[in-house]
Amino acid sequence: MTPLEERIGYKFRNSMLLAEALTHPSLGHEAQRCHFDYQRLEFLGDAVLQLVITEYLFRNFGLEAEGQLTKLRSRLVSREALKTHAAALDLGRYILMGRGEQASGGRERTSTLADAFEALIGALYLDGGLDTAKKFILTETRADLEELAEKPVDINPKGDLQELLQSISPHSPLYELVSQTGPEHEKMFVSHVLWDGIVLGQGTGRSKKQAETAAALEAMELKRWEKGEKEST
């Protein structure tokens, strides 16, 4: 096994896939001849990464709205996040690249490391199937996933909504509890967010705070203040 294979705990059946995933486009450009590189595998790996992270969020954050799930996924698959994972694998040292690219700091470049990380996922998918790629992704992103479980909301929807609306008028949004149902240990709350006579959004949650946060998220998505939809009486 190569040092990288030992690090990720997987032996490639087709070693050329690993070689392709670790070949920077600059190598072919510098040699002025046709040479494979990681760009196609990067394209595939990006899709596999999106699928695995999307499924994880869908299964583990059942109360989050679509908009919040999208924001969480964006945080997990950002270029900076992928660079961090690549650096943890010391991936830069294994990438084959042209001398010019290397001399200009290519082994530490965010785009290079992020692309190579996605290409490695694509290679794992082709060589070992979805389960192999999924195991790798969830292992390498474990710390980020655990952080999400402790602090799933990395934005402040209520604060963002208030700031946006106060740029339009001095009035602040108001949150109104519409209903609460279920036994004491398993209550579900529904809240509206109102502003200038308009119901901007509705949210559901296991606490008033969670319901209000969900209502603010929906309000940010619907942007009803732009349409002036008045509250029905």
pLDDT 10s digits, 157-172: 788 888 888 888 888 8
Structure tokens of 207? 């606490």
Q: Report pLDDT for 66.
A: 83
Q: How far apart are CA 152 and CA 145, in angstroms?
A: 9
Go through 13-44 and write b for each residue having 16 or more CB atoms within 10 A of its CB, e for each that does not.
eeeebbbbbbbbbbbeeeeeeeeebbeebbeb
Structure tokens of 218? 């929906």
CA-to-CA dists, residue 28 to 25, 99, 114, angstroms: 6, 11, 20
Cβ atoms 154, 71 nearer than 8 A:
yes
Cross-strand partners of 198: 195
pLDDT 10s digits, 58-115: 999 887 888 778 888 888 888 888 989 999 999 999 998 888 777 877 788 888 899 9
pTM: 0.64
Q: Which residues are catalytic?
A: 46, 118
Q: How far apart are CA 155 and CA 168, in angstroms?
A: 21
Cross-strand partners of 194: 174, 199
pLDDT 10s digits, 6-31: 999 999 999 999 999 999 988 766 65
Q: How far apart are CA 150 and CA 129, in angstroms?
A: 31
In order of start, what are the domains of the chain with their CATH numbers? Answer: 3-150 (1.10.1520.10), 157-226 (3.30.160.20)
Q: How many Cα atoms within 13 Å fall on the side-chain side of residue 196?
A: 13
Q: How far apart are CA 140 and CA 132, in angstroms?
A: 12
Q: Report pLDDT for 33.
A: 63
Q: How far apart are the first and last CA of the chain?
A: 71
Type of residue at 12:
F
